[in-house]
Structure 1
Amino acid sequence: MLEAYSRCWAEIDIKAIAHNVQEIQKLVGETKIMGIVKANAYGHGDVQCAKALKECGVDFFGVSSIDEALNLRNAGIDDNVLILGYTPEEHFHYLHEQNIIQSLVSLDYAKTLNEYAMTQNVQIRAHCKVDTGMCRTGIIYRDQSKNMDSILEEYQLSNIHVEGIFSHFPVSDELDKDSKEFTLHQIELFKEVLQQLEQHGINPGIRHIQNSYGILNYGDLGFDYCRPGLLYMGVTSDDSVEIESNPDFIPILSLYANVSLVKWIEPGQSVSYGRHFIAQKPTKVATMSIGYADGLPRLVSNKNLEVLVHGIRCPLIGNICMDQCMIDVTAVDDVKQGDVVCIVGQQGKEKVTIDEISRKAQTINNETLSCITSRVPRMEKRQ
């Protein structure tokens, strides 16, 4: 029987990352991997995931913000780090001090960054972001508005070294005709930008456009890097979404909690806030030490989410509390305080997945994993 680490904890199978990277590489050929470790590597631990990816030959990392980039630097990761989001002006100095690459969210932003770099007499590394359809950040380049002059202007700024260019797919996970046409047209637009840069005698630098579903559904597009996030963690956003490939991923995260109390309740007795569960027969109830403040969504309360106790599926009952929740363990013999409950992972012959939680919470695995909070220790899986 697995012994407890804490009241609740996550175990990360670091060794499985190498297997997942190999599965990604099969899909993208010679395209290199930029490991996306933003949001604490989607809740898996940014530093430990980055170090495992480095061992697999990954030499480029993507983060959301300057603090995430600095976290990697402070952990001794000196490889290329690209900030995919916005950095405030007061933090511009970190970019050149720590050799961090900034994405250019707009031409005006690039000009502001260039003015700062001129005053400091430094060169700041950057990637040009092109908006081919996401409508989030970057210079718009679409059929309705092709702002090529603005893209050229970014490359010509005196103190910004634009050493790469990228875009992003909003519907690469959808295989209906309209979505596929939209994504394929994004690729055409991106290639058009690259061709125009080259016609102006400008080397576009590192080219990347594929997110996780762009990898799964569009294979090797011939660009320099791809940007997997969840894939090297062994999961997709939604298990029910059809994909064009058949990778053999291994989920690297398991989630556990302790049983803190076991009791019998009689018919008519209720469980938890709101009294949404009322026992219809004598019921053995176990309290486990995890709640919505740990990242188990309150939205899955009373939706028959199952966890594993002694390898047997047991349903959650009543509303999930901030720090605790209750499960019906009537079908399990010898449950006692201190027993380990498996919320995500395998116990005995049974398995429960993060996707089961996400489906009942009506969200995607990206959000469910990212919401596992910092008070849940991330431990390396015991082999």
Structure 2
Amino acid sequence: MYQKGRAWIELNMEHLKHNMEQFRALLPPDCALMPAVKANAYGHGAVLVSKALQKQGVKSFCVASAAEGAELRKSGIDGEILVLAYTHPEQFGDLIEYDLTQTVVDGNYAQELKRDGRRFTVHVGIDTGMHRLGERWDNLEEIVKIFRIPNLNVTGVYSHLCVSDGKDSKEKAYTLEQIHHFEYVVEELHRRGIDGFKCHLQGSYGILNYSELCFDYARAGIALYGILSEKNDRVNASVDLKPVLSLKARLESVRMLYQGESAGYGLTYSAGKTQKIGVLSIGYADGIPRNLSNRGQVLCNGKAAPVIGRICMDQMLVDLSGVEQAAPGDEAVLIGTSGELEIRAEDMAGWAGTISNEILSRMGERLERVAV
């Protein structure tokens, strides 16, 4: 039995398995999942999540850095691990040592890998319109040159859709244009006798809104964890996604705040009447956004408790006026369910003025991750 200390994350692995099955049913039979487990699996715990996915037959993963890939290898994760972003030449040895697949972020970077001289397994990034990473789709001669560098074993090409979550006609048209650009590059490579590489284009929203596409991999990210980026997002696919993560903390103290008194740093909250307040053992060092000060709520014993005062590094204050029974040591739920009430990551993101991807990926290392 694990110890539920000051604050912790619970991971429902049955929900993770369920979500994976939803994606597999949605994708073409020949398209394999390549889950994004970057940023500590969006805060869920990369090792825990990757081990669970590996047991369900997942053989390919993608991360943001060589260090993230090395952590997975050291923890016993097999199969392909693709580094989606830049790796500095000083870390090229890690790519070799831990058998990582590196993204060629542009033609100049390909030359950097060439000068190193060691043999690298790579996927070539194609910039189809996001203009972040990848060699431009219309610079075909440069892309072909990358394939011909002797010490690069090119096993894949990919791009990234930047408005696949969009619903208006402009966003849809741009996404279709990106898809066309990517397909053009793949067809031209094949026409020139270059083959034997895998293709992937879709992230979460690319899968959920353009599931008819048929590539070798699909990089399911935030939605694999049962969450959408924003509460009001709507997708074309009929899927039943279940949140994997719950975030909980202890009530450290329950006390009275008398009418006219103020609480917390800066005295930003003042009691209009005498009320019961609670101190939670979690703060911005654990990943709770400081701009949730005096905004949003938590759940305690099946009741809602509004956040009051400024979020501290290690604590936060809540109004327990509506919670009849609350005592030190009780669990408070910041994301998850309590009784009949639920707070989703999308809710916290909305209160904080951001997206759930940021809320989850910033969860601190001192939060214990536990599979339940």
TM-score normalised by structure 2 residue count? 0.97
CA distance in 1, matches of 2:335, 2:291: 17
TM-superposed CA distance for 1:265, in Å, is 1.6
Corresponding residue for residue 187 of structure 1: 179
Q: Tell me whether 1:344 sits opposite 2:335 in the alignment.
A: yes
| 1:168-189 Cα distance to aligned partner (Å, 9 max, x none) | 0110011110000000111111
Deviations 1:37-94 (A, max 9, x none): 0110011000111111112221100001110010011001121000000111111122
Structure 2 Cα separation of the partners of residues 13 and 237 of structure 1: 19
Shift of residue 204 of structure 1? 5.5
- Which residue of structure 2 aligns with residue 138 of structure 1? 134
Paired letter, 1:8: A
Residue 272, structure 1, aligned to residue 272, structure 2: no
SS class of match (1:36): coil
In 1, the alpha carbon distance for the partners of 2:297 and 2:122 equals: 46
> Which residue is 2:148 aligned to?
156
Give distance in 2, aligned partners of 1:274 and 1:206.
56
5 Å matches for 1:223-262?
A: 223-262=215-254
In the alignment, structure 1 residue 307 sits paired with structure 2 residue 306: no
Q: Percent identity?
A: 38
Q: Is the 8 A contact 2:304 2:323 kept in 1?
A: no
1:296 and 2:298 aligned: no
Q: 1:257 offset after TM fit, Å?
A: 0.6
1:26 to partner: Cα distance = 2.2
Residue 369 of structure 2 corresponds to 378
Matching residue's letter, 1:9: W
Q: CA deviation at 1:15?
A: 2.3
Q: How far apart, in 2, do the equivalents of 1:246 and 1:312 lie?
A: 32
What is the distance in 2 between the residues matched to 1:309 and 1:375? 22
With over 3 angstroms needed to count, the CA separation of the structure-2 counterparts of 1:52 and 1:91, relative to structure 1, is: same
Deviation string for 1:147-193 (max 9, x for gaps)?
00001000111110111000001100111100000001111111110
> Structure 1: how far apart are the matches of 2:337 and 2:102?
40
Residue of structure 1 in register with 2:88 after alignment: 88
In structure 2, distance between residues paired with 1:242 and 1:350: 22
CA shift for structure 1 position 4: 6.6
SS of corresponding position for 1:15: helix
Q: Deviations over 1:343-377 (max 9, x none)?
A: 11111111111111100111110100011110111
Q: 1:322 pairs with 313, 318, 322, which one? A: 313
Q: Which residue of 1 aligns with 2:59?
A: 59
| Contact 1:24–1:231 under 8 Å retained in 2 | no
Q: Which segments of 5 or more consecutive residues in structure 1 lack a partner in the other structure? A: none
CA distance in structure 1 between the partners assigned to 2:169 and 2:196 by the alignment: 31
Inter-partner Cα distance in structure 1 for 2:3 and 2:336: 15
User: Aligned-pair RMSD on alpha carbons?
Assistant: 1.4
The letter for the 2-side match of 1:254 is S
Contact 1:62 1:83 in 2 (8 A): yes
Matched with 2:22 is: 23
The AA in structure 1 aligned to 2:169 is K
The Cα offsets for residues 179-219 of structure 1, whole Å up to 9 and x where unpaired, read as 00000111111111011101110005110000111011101
CA–CA separation in structure 2 for the residues paired with 1:22 and 1:359: 28
CA contact (8 A) 1:4 1:258 kept: no
Q: Which amino acid aligns with 1:54?
A: Q
> How far 1:29 moved relative to its partner?
2.3
Deviation at 1:315, TM superposition (A): 0.5
* SS of aligned partner of 2:209: helix
Within 1, Cα distance between the matches of 2:3 and 2:52?
Answer: 25
- Structure 2 unaligned residues grouped into runs of 5+: none
Q: How many residues align?
A: 371
In structure 1, how many angstroms separate the alpha carbons of the residues matched to 2:366 and 2:97?
31
Q: Which runs of 4+ in 1 moved over 2 A?
A: none
- Conservation of the 8 A alpha-carbon contact between 2:288 and 2:363: yes
